Amino acid sequence: MTFDIKLAAAQAKAAKNAIANLSQAQRLALLLSVAKGLRENVEPILAANKVDLDNAKESGLSDAMIDRLALNADGVEAIAKAVEEIAHQPEVLGSINNIQPLPSGIQVGKMRIPLGVIAMIYESRPNVTIDAAALCLKAGNAVILRGGKEAQASNKALASVLHSALEAQGLPAAIATVIPVPDREVMQEMLTLSESIDLIIPRGGEGLIRYVSTNSQIPVIQHFKGVCHLFIDKDADLDKAIPILENGKTQRTGVCNALETLLVHVDVATQAMPKVAALFDEKGVKVHACERAIGYLSNAEFATKEDWEAEYLALEIAVKIVDDFDTAVTHIQEYGSGHTEVIVTENLASSQRFMREVNSSVIMLNASSRFSDGGQLGLGAEIGISTSKLHAYGPMGAQQLTTEKFVVYGDGHIRV
Amino acid sequence: MTFDIKLAAAQAKAAKNAIANLSQAQRLALLLSVAKGLRENVEPILAANKVDLDNAKESGLSDAMIDRLALNADGVEAIAKAVEEIAHQPEVLGSINNIQPLPSGIQVGKMRIPLGVIAMIYESRPNVTIDAAALCLKAGNAVILRGGKEAQASNKALASVLHSALEAQGLPAAIATVIPVPDREVMQEMLTLSESIDLIIPRGGEGLIRYVSTNSQIPVIQHFKGVCHLFIDKDADLDKAIPILENGKTQRTGVCNALETLLVHVDVATQAMPKVAALFDEKGVKVHACERAIGYLSNAEFATKEDWEAEYLALEIAVKIVDDFDTAVTHIQEYGSGHTEVIVTENLASSQRFMREVNSSVIMLNASSRFSDGGQLGLGAEIGISTSKLHAYGPMGAQQLTTEKFVVYGDGHIRV
pLDDT tens track for B24-34 = 999 999 999 99
CB contact under 8 A, A368 and B410: yes
Residues of A in contact with B116 (CB under 8 A): 359, 389
Quickly list H helices, B341-410. 348-357
The residue in chain A having the minimum alpha-carbon distance to the alpha carbon of residue B413 is A367
Burial track A234-262 (b if 16+ CB lie within 10 A, e otherwise): bbbeeebbbbbbbbbbbbebeebbbbbbb
Q: How far apart are CA A77 and CA A75, in angstroms?
A: 5
Quickly list H helices, B115-168. 127-138, 152-168
Model confidence at A222, pLDDT cuts 50, 70, 90, reads confident
Q: According to the per-residue pLDDT averaged within each range, which of A381-385, B217-221, B359-363 is highest?
A: B359-363
Taking domain B228-373, whether its CATH number is 3.40.50.2300 is answered by no
The residue in chain B having the minimum alpha-carbon distance to the alpha carbon of residue A353 is B21
CB contact under 8 A, A355 and B407: yes
- Average pLDDT for A228-248: 98
Q: How far apart are CA A155 and CA B75, in angstroms?
A: 61
By the 8 A CB rule, do A297 and A289 touch?
Answer: yes
Hey, which residues does B407 pair with through a beta bridge?
A: A363, B109
By the 8 A CB rule, do A357 and B114 touch?
Answer: no
Tell me the per-residue pLDDT of A272-313, one tens digit each, with 9 for 90 and over.
999 999 999 999 999 999 999 999 999 899 999 999 999 999
Q: How far is B371 from chain A (nearest CA, A)?
A: 6
The residue in chain B having the minimum alpha-carbon distance to the alpha carbon of residue A117 is B389
Model confidence at A81, pLDDT cuts 50, 70, 90, reads very high
Hey, which residues does B199 pair with through a beta bridge?
A: B118
Residues of A in contact with B243 (CB under 8 A): 412, 414
The residue in chain B having the minimum alpha-carbon distance to the alpha carbon of residue A333 is B17
Look at residues A153, A197, A340 and name the one whose alpha carbon lies nearest to residue A261. A340
CB contact under 8 A, B368 and A414: yes
Residue type at A125? R
By the 8 A CB rule, do A159 and A176 touch?
Answer: yes
Q: Which of B216, B366, B408 to mutate to test the interface with A (most CBs of A within 10 A)?
A: B408
Look at residues A338, A307, A340 and name the one whose alpha carbon lies nearest to residue A230. A340
CB contact under 8 A, A390 and B365: no
* Crossing angle of the two packed helices B42-58 and B152-168, in degrees rounded to 10: 160
By Cβ distance, the residue of A115, A237, A378 closest to B389 is: A115
Among A70-74, B102-106, B121-125, B235-239, whose mean pLDDT is lowest? B121-125
By the 8 A CB rule, do A367 and A245 touch?
Answer: no
Taking domain B5-224+392-408, whether its CATH number is 1.10.1270.20 is answered by no
Q: How far apart are CA B245 and CA A18, in angstroms?
A: 31
Residues of B in contact with A100 (CB under 8 A): 378
Q: How far apart are CA B234 and CA B343, in angstroms?
A: 11
The residue in chain B having the minimum alpha-carbon distance to the alpha carbon of residue A192 is B214
First CA to last CA distance, chain A: 60
What is the rounded radius of gyration, in angstroms, for the C-alpha atoms of chain A?
Answer: 24
Look at residues A365, A361, A367 and name the one whose alpha carbon lies nearest to residue A379. A361
Tell me the per-residue pLDDT of A317-362, one tens digit each, with 9 for 90 and over.
999 999 999 999 999 999 999 999 999 999 999 999 999 999 999 9
CB contact under 8 A, B409 and A370: no
Q: How far apart are CA A59 and CA A258, in angstroms?
A: 31
Q: How far is A53 from chain B (nearest CA, A)?
A: 32
- Average pLDDT for B212-222: 92
By Cβ distance, the residue of A21, A104, A361 closest to B357 is: A21
Residues of A in contact with B237 (CB under 8 A): 412
Spacing of C-alpha B66 from chain mean position: 21
With H, G, I as helix, E, B as strand and everything else as coil, classify residue B280. Answer: helix
By Cβ distance, the residue of B108, B371, B372 closest to A378 is: B108
Q: What is the pLDDT of residue A291?
A: 97
Instruction: Evaluate if residue B360 carries a pLDDT over 60.
Output: yes
Model confidence at B1, pLDDT cuts 50, 70, 90, reads low
Q: How far apart are CA B303 and CA B281, in angstroms?
A: 18
Q: How far apart are CA A310 and CA A335, in angstroms?
A: 9
The secondary element (H helix, E strand) that includes residue B38 is helix B24-40
Q: According to the per-residue pLDDT averaged within each range, which of A207-221, B138-152, B214-228 is highest?
A: B138-152
CB contact under 8 A, A415 and B115: no
By the 8 A CB rule, do A181 and A4 touch?
Answer: no
Quickly list H helices, B216-288. 238-250, 269-283
Q: What is the pLDDT of residue A397?
A: 95
Instruction: Evaluate if residue A129 carries a pLDDT over 70.
Output: yes
Average pLDDT, chain A: 95
Q: What residues does each domain of chain B span?
A: 5-224+392-408, 228-373
With H, G, I as helix, E, B as strand and everything else as coil, classify residue B225. Answer: coil
Question: Domain A5-222+403-408, what fold?
Answer: Aldehyde Dehydrogenase; Chain A, domain 1 (3.40.605)
Residue type at A321? I
pLDDT above 70 covers a percentage of chain B that reads 100
Spacing of C-alpha A387 from chain mean position: 9
Query: How wide is the angle at C-alpha B218 spanned by C-alphas B215 and B223, nearest 5°?
Result: 75
pLDDT above 70 covers a percentage of chain A that reads 100
CA contacts within 13 A on the Cβ side of B225: 17
Residues of A in contact with B390 (CB under 8 A): 115, 198-199, 219, 390-391, 403
CB contact under 8 A, B108 and A404: no
The residue in chain A having the minimum alpha-carbon distance to the alpha carbon of residue B391 is A391
Model confidence at A401, pLDDT cuts 50, 70, 90, reads very high
CB contact under 8 A, B406 and A377: yes
The CATH homologous superfamily to which domain A228-372 belongs is: Aldehyde Dehydrogenase; Chain A, domain 2 (3.40.309.10)
Q: How far apart are CA A3 and CA A179, in angstroms?
A: 7
Q: Which of A249, A252, A346, A405 to mutate to test the interface with B (most CBs of B within 10 A)?
A: A405
Q: How far is B369 from chain A (nearest CA, A)?
A: 8
CB contact under 8 A, A368 and B414: yes
CB contact under 8 A, A414 and B21: no
Tell me the per-residue pLDDT of B48-73, one tens digit each, with 9 for 90 and over.
999 999 999 999 988 888 888 999 99
The residue in chain A having the minimum alpha-carbon distance to the alpha carbon of residue B236 is A412
Residues of B in contact with A410 (CB under 8 A): 364-368, 371
Model confidence at B265, pLDDT cuts 50, 70, 90, reads very high
Q: How far apart are CA A109 and CA A93, in angstroms?
A: 14
By Cβ distance, the residue of B377, B405, B406 closest to A406 is: B377
Q: How far is B139 from chain A (nearest CA, A)?
A: 14
How does strand B301-302 pair with strand B286-289?
parallel
DSSP state of B243: H
By Cβ distance, the residue of B239, B333, B405 closest to A359 is: B405
By Cβ distance, the residue of B21, B199, B244 closest to A390 is: B199
Q: How far apart are CA B230 and CA B195, in angstroms?
A: 43
Tell me the per-residue pLDDT of B300-326, one tens digit each, with 9 for 90 and over.
999 999 999 999 999 999 999 999 999
By the 8 A CB rule, do A190 and A144 touch?
Answer: yes
Q: What is the pLDDT of residue A182?
A: 81
